Chains A and B, each alone.
Chain A
């Protein structure tokens, strides 16, 4: 079942007086609970596509459909709500809020919405945050701030934060780029485990071939076009 659909998506950027075509009519579909790698060299358009799927950038042409909703027709407020409800983000540089501790960083997205809309009680919310902290192995670090954590620990916090609103899709932009290879592998395996346990769709961009191999579904880009699109189970 398709959870994301890109249809002839084009993205042009203005670079001074020159117009750069970053994405050239890309179309593909992603199914629910997939663990997908969008691979390709630098400048191939991975991050641009990820941004458009994440509703933080809009296509110049074509359409991006998330859970049946055409994002082209949505305004900023609706796109923000959609991001909060359906999408989780893991950033290359972790992007934790420096003044918050581990627990507060993970809890933060939940505080952006009314609990009524989340459908959980205060106790359930606390239990859920604690569960995620435990899942990412940071129980002893929950009162620590991000500057007191290692890169791997920070990315674990980011993963827990991405999952806290129980999104159907988690987007990870080169999640292992700032980590050493062994830590990167641990992080990818953690994402894979959560993907299996919670059925969350994971989409991550990478140019690391060892990490690409863990993905079930690989979309390889080259010069803003889909060069390969295959599923390992097939």
Chain B
């Protein structure tokens, strides 16, 4: 049987031609609809690209420099992350990861794991009292690391001195943190300078002095600003009194007497920053440290096994979700009261910033989108009403309802396509201009958000085609009611046109 398609294609051709000519004929309405749709696509693409860039910036900054792809922590009744306790006014310290060695051995042997390293995190005040400006201290967020494994997991560029070597005691400050402290305290800080750390943990108030062994900057750029420092894990455990968590240490009475300061609440607060405490503590330090070390040697606790977190880099981060599921299953089976989470959980609440921005953006876009669709529906309805005699004529001449529907569908298709492409081109131009403008990050927040020194938005497949497809669908949705009206036009209307 010979099929004759020529009239089919001619019919399609005339439909397309009719649709395009109608759009031109009713150009004012076409322009209104096209403008609304183009702006919608433009806003969606630029907005989503910006949000994706921010999200990717946050993601990269945290995964590459802080959280890894996956982290493991002890379960707790309260919410906490690598950044500490998240409950308002919460004074609890991060809980210790139970059965650390068992977990570490399992993770290290896992075929998907690229590297793993433990953390202890918290804040401390730093004092550089060798500068003769006693009593002045700068605050820092410290990460207690294991020098033997940390540098296999995270890149950081040591610009002076060294990193924290295995079994070494010391502090490594970020370049920007050192600069900030230098400015704030009006001192010069050099490698080898003693750094006195003031901390408060499970064991109460503690002071430790270690040397500054290095200064680092993140590989990403020069503009970073942060208040970060790395410290050897053992010193940080001392500072946080982590050995008290599992088993109290027996410190001799005479050493306890050395801590003869008024520790009543009010006096404690007053004394916290007083120089008397610092002096007393400095005197106490060496003797007390020796006592603690002796005690720890006799203790059943293995000091090396006390960590708060284990952060993990995977060979392929795309499989992080599956890996987390496997690890949590294993932890359950082993009866270990800990769980694995992704970088977002590790960096909470900072990691939720992009989600919050996205949610706010989507709500605003949703509202604007509904208004836009209503305007488009209204304009299309007016167009149908104006063209009622023309539709009636087509129907009288033998056009089925399906023909009328196809005609209007073609019109909205071309209108959406044209608008989508216009919005897309404008969005690309804007993104291109933003990239050309090289908008610099001016502070730590924008450095993280931009994922570097400059805002460098990169449009992803989903941020381009998502809005494009959305506007095509919105066009067809907006066309449903006008289409219903158009196909309902009775052919007798043609006769009434006088």
Contact = CB atoms under 8 A, between A and B. Distances in A.
A173 B21 CA distance: 28
Interface in B8-34: 8, 10-11, 14, 17-18, 21-22, 24-25
Contacts of B401: 76-77, 80
Nearest to B15: A111
B301 to A, nearest CB: 86
A83 B495 contact: no
A171 to B, nearest CB: 9
B492 A57 contact: yes
A115 B399 contact: no
Nearest to B3: A116
A84 B390 CA distance: 16
B11 to A, nearest CB: 5
A35 interface: no
Interface string B381-403: 00000000110011111111101
Given A47-B495, A51-B495, A115 B4 contact: yes
Given A76-B401, A112-B11, A56 B18 contact: no
A91 interface: yes
Contact of B7 (A51, A83, A111): A111
B393 A95 contact: yes
A114 to B, nearest CB: 6
A84 B394 CA distance: 10
Contacts of A161: 397
A56 B25 contact: no
Contact of B25 (A85, A98, A108, A109): A98
A92 B497 CA distance: 8
A51 B490 CA distance: 11
A214 interface: no
B10 A56 contact: no
Contact of A165 (B6, B8, B398): B398
Contact of A97 (B8, B11, B390, B490): B390
Contacts of B21: 99-100
Interface string A68-107: 0000000011001101110001011101011110001001
The residue in B18, B401, B494, B497 that gathers the most chain A C-beta atoms within 10 A of its C-beta is B494
Interface in B352-408: 389-390, 393-401, 403
Nearest to A80: B400
B457 interface: no
Contact of A91 (B8, B490, B495): B495
A211 interface: no
Contact of B495 (A76, A99, A173): A173
B498 interface: yes
A107 B18 CA distance: 13
Interface in A126-140: none
A84 B7 contact: no
B491 interface: yes
A179 interface: no
A83 B390 contact: no
A166 B390 CA distance: 22
Contacts of A113: 7, 398
Chain B, interface SS category: helix
A25 to B, nearest CB: 21
A97 B17 CA distance: 12
Contacts of A76: 401
A21 to B, nearest CB: 18
A93 B25 CA distance: 19
Nearest to A98: B25
Contact of A56 (B6, B390, B491): B491
Given A100-B18, A173-B495, A112 B397 contact: yes
A110 B7 CA distance: 9
The residue in B4, B17, B389, B397 that gathers the most chain A C-beta atoms within 10 A of its C-beta is B397
B398 A80 contact: yes
Contacts of A107: 14
Nearest to A118: B7
B393 A91 contact: yes
A108 B396 CA distance: 12
A4 B72 CA distance: 88
A66 to B, nearest CB: 14
Contacts of A89: 396-397, 494
Given A111-B14, A115-B4, A56 B396 contact: yes
Contacts of A104: 14, 17
A54 B269 CA distance: 99
Given A56-B491, A91-B494, A84 B18 contact: no
A190 interface: no
Interface in B144-194: none
Nearest to B20: A99
A155 to B, nearest CB: 14
Given A98-B390, A100-B21, A56 B495 contact: yes
5 smallest CB-CB distances across A and B, nearest first, come from A84-B398, A99-B21, A115-B7, A56-B491, A95-B393
Given A80-B395, A112-B399, 12 more contacts: A56-B495, A80-B400, A84-B398, A89-B396, A92-B497, A95-B393, A95-B396, A98-B25, A99-B24, A100-B18, A100-B21, A113-B7
6 contacts: A51-B492, A56-B491, A99-B25, A100-B21, A108-B14, A161-B397
Interface of A: 47, 50-51, 54, 56-57, 76-77, 80-81, 83-85, 89, 91-93, 95, 97-100, 104, 107-116, 118, 122, 161, 165, 173, 177
